[in-house]
Amino acid sequence: MITLLGSPKRCCDGLTRREALRAGAISLGSGLGLNLPQALMAEQAGTLPGKAKSVIVLYLLGGAATQDMVDMKPDAPAEVRGEFRPVKTSVPGLDICEHLPRMNKWAHRLAVVRSMTHRGGCHNPLPSYTGWETIPPDLVTTSDTYPPSMGSVCEYLREGSRPLPDYVYLPNYLGWGQSIRRPGPYAGFLGKRFDPLHSECDPRNDPGAPAEKPWFPQVIRGEPKIPDATPGDGITVDRLDRRRTLLQQVEDGLRSQETSQAGDSYDRNRQRAFDMVSSPAARRAFDLSKEDPRRLDRYGRTLFGNSAAIALRLVQAGVRFVNVTWDVYWERLMLQHDGWDTHGRNFAILKEYNLPYFDLAFDALMGDLESTGLIDETLVVVMSEMGRTPKINGSSGRDHWTYCYSTILAGAGIRGGTVYGASDAQAAFVKDMPVRPADLCATIYRCLGIDPEMTVLDKTARPVAIAQGGSPIQAILA
């Protein structure tokens, strides 16, 4: 029998990881579904002191022009500085765009990292979600050879038994609106059973709104929904649960002599969907019909704002990692052509649409976190997969740029009122203290009390650090 020393940590089935390791060494094909490498991985899942119980990521797809938000250059040439005016905050050295007045009042809670940079290529979400900067063969599919996302690692380390998963992705899977599946937010070589639970949505414009066209967005309404949350006619939750039990018995009989990762993954994901449908906590979290209308007004009543409001509810219900993406829906629905990918009319789109609605949702989320006391145990991260060019193009837009951009963190584990790193005079390149996406991932892990140096095994049984070798940004940690 093989035994590793270490403190016992409970697995989701109630066994300690040391007990699971013994069982895995005795019988690699047992009903536990663990082989020896998986058991060894489980034993490594040590924890560190961490102030954040949960994370809410606000993901601005397309590459937000952060030099027009939190790293403004008013003394740069006109073709660089843009049209917006910076406004001073309570934090020396931290000026925020005039069109983010609500964010301004949270300056004392913010840590702004102005020196993000990576070599992972444009519109590649893998660096921001995993810390991995390799450019994949394409950006429209995912792969089980990629490293796991931060949320998937949280799901992998899940302890205890609860109806809600530890990783929920709102309002839809990344790329749904473009009829693709962008890589990044998934479990990769950890296995599909640790992928996020994605909500579903029905994006729409206001009735009577003019048809959208590129560079002229309209307000996107809608609410995230639990996937497959509407049973057929006459199917109650109790009946659905009985159907699940019967189906499980049949499938258990068919699988009694075989175990496979694919089968386990399917079963786990199906189980999570059933649990979400039948869970009162999940139904309450996703049901905005009984919400105070004034609260929904504060979030802006957009798809992004409603998703942020539900993210708060999910955190209150114990979900550890919630992602809210400002997505695009052009290929599927001819809605929201640009998102934050503002190649044309950058300043008009930001001023008239993106910044006001983002500002509303961010302010409402921070306000609710503070009023409920969750601000001391919830980390909020605002990020994109890249930034935008320092020079304004001929269409009054900014193009793709990965060499320098900003990320915002606030809440649990973060020393508020801080600015880390610096860009040069035109926000073109990092001037001081560069930060890689792996460093940002390591910082988030550290806030959660997860050792960023913890390793998991890839498809070749090679140990891979979950933060891809990144180091926490100590200067912004509380």
- Does the pLDDT value for residue 18 go beyond 80? no
Q: Which residue has the higher pLDDT, 236 or 78?
A: 78
Q: Which CATH architecture describes the domain 53-223+288-450? A: 3-Layer(aba) Sandwich (3.40)
Pick the range with the lowest mean pLDDT from 67-76, 152-161, 372-381. 152-161
Pick the range with the lowest mean pLDDT from 40-49, 111-120, 342-351, 450-459. 40-49
With bands split at pLDDT 50, 70 and 90, how would you rate the model's confidence at 49? confident
Pick the range with the lowest mean pLDDT from 115-129, 136-150, 279-293. 279-293
What is the number of other CB atoms lying within 10 angstroms of the CB of residue 424? 14
User: Can you tell me the distance from the alpha carbon of 21 to that of 40, in angstroms, rounded to the nearest whole number?
Assistant: 7
Burial of 160 (0-12, 13-18, 19+ CB in 10 A): exposed
pLDDT at 160: 80
Closest CA to 415 of 446, 387, 439: 446
**H/E element, 401:** strand 400-401
467, 478 Cβ separation under 8 angstroms:
no
pLDDT at 280: 84
pLDDT at 342: 98
Q: Which residue has the higher pLDDT, 282 or 358?
A: 358
Q: Which residue has the higher pLDDT, 297 or 15?
A: 297
pLDDT at 273: 65
With bands split at pLDDT 50, 70 and 90, how would you rate the model's confidence at 161? confident
| Type of residue numbered 17 | R
Q: Where are the domains of the chain?
A: 53-223+288-450
pLDDT at 50: 85
> 229 to each of 9, 169, 201, 273, how far by Cα in Å?
33, 16, 12, 8
With bands split at pLDDT 50, 70 and 90, how would you rate the model's confidence at 78? very high
209, 335 Cβ separation under 8 angstroms:
no
What string of DSSP letters covers 16-60?
BHHHHHHHHHH-TTSTT---HHHHHHHHT--B---S-SEEEEEEE
pLDDT at 235: 45
Q: Which residue has the higher pLDDT, 237 or 291?
A: 291
The whole-model pTM stands at: 0.86
The residue-averaged pLDDT of 450-469 equals: 97
The residue-averaged pLDDT of 31-44 equals: 42
